[in-house]
Structure 1
Amino acid sequence: MTDRDETFDAVARLITPFNKKGAALTETTSFAGDLEWDSLVVMDFVASVEDEFDILITMNMQAEIETVGQLVDAVDTLKNENPTRA
C-alpha cells in the first residue's frame, strides 16, 4: 500500500460520519455534487482533516478542492512540505 493509498483510506474514514447520503467514495467523488455538503459541513470536515494530519488547508486551497482525489493530493503535498509534523 502506498502513502497515497493510506492517505485516501484515512480521508475516507474521516468522510464517513459526514456522508449522510451513503455515497460511494472514489477519487472522483465530489464534495458538493455527490456528497451534497454545505459550507458548515465542509468547515467541520476540513477541521477534522487538519487535526488528523497536523496540516493547515488554506481557504484558497479549499476553494480549489472539489473531489476526494484532489483532497488526497493536497494532503500528501502538505504533509511532504512539513514532514516533521506528519
Structure 2
Amino acid sequence: MSDRQQIAAKVLELVEPFNKKGVAVTEATRFAQDLEWDSLTVLDFVANIEDEFDVIISMNMQAEIETVGQLIDALQRLTAGK
C-alpha cells in the first residue's frame, strides 16, 4: 500500500465519526457542501488530523482545502519529510 493510500485510509477513518449525514465519502467529497460541516466541526476534525499525522495545518492551508482528496494531497506533502 502506498503512502497516499495509507493516508487516504486514515483520513476516511477519521471522517467517519463526523459524517452525520451518512454521505458516501470519496476524494471528491467537499467538507462544507457535501458533509455540511460547520466551523466548529472543521476545527475538531483538523485537531484530530493534526494529532494523528503529527502535523500542523495552517489556517491558510485549511482555507484552500475543500475536498477529501485535497486534504490527502496536503497531508502527503506535510508528511513526506518524516
* Shared fold per TM-score greater than 0.5: yes
CA RMSD in angstroms, aligned pairs only: 0.6
| Structure 2 SS opposite 1:73 | helix
| Structure 1 SS opposite 2:55 | coil
Which residue number corresponds to residue 79 of structure 1?
A: 79
**What fraction of aligned residue pairs are identical, expressed as a percent?**
62
Which residue number corresponds to residue 17 of structure 1?
A: 17
Aligned-pair distance for 1:7? 0.3
Give TM-score scaled by structure 1 length.
Answer: 0.93
How many residues matched?
82
Per-residue CA deviations over 1:51-77 (Å, capped at 9, x if unaligned) read 000000000000000000000000110
Which residue number corresponds to residue 27 of structure 2?
A: 27
| Structure 2 SS opposite 1:69 | helix
- How far apart, in 2, do the equivalents of 1:25 and 1:5 lie? 15
Aligned-pair distance for 1:25? 1.0
- How far apart, in 1, do the equivalents of 2:15 and 2:9 lie? 10
Aligned-pair distance for 1:2? 1.1
Which residue number corresponds to residue 53 of structure 2?
A: 53
Runs (4+) of structure 1 moved beyond 6 Å? none
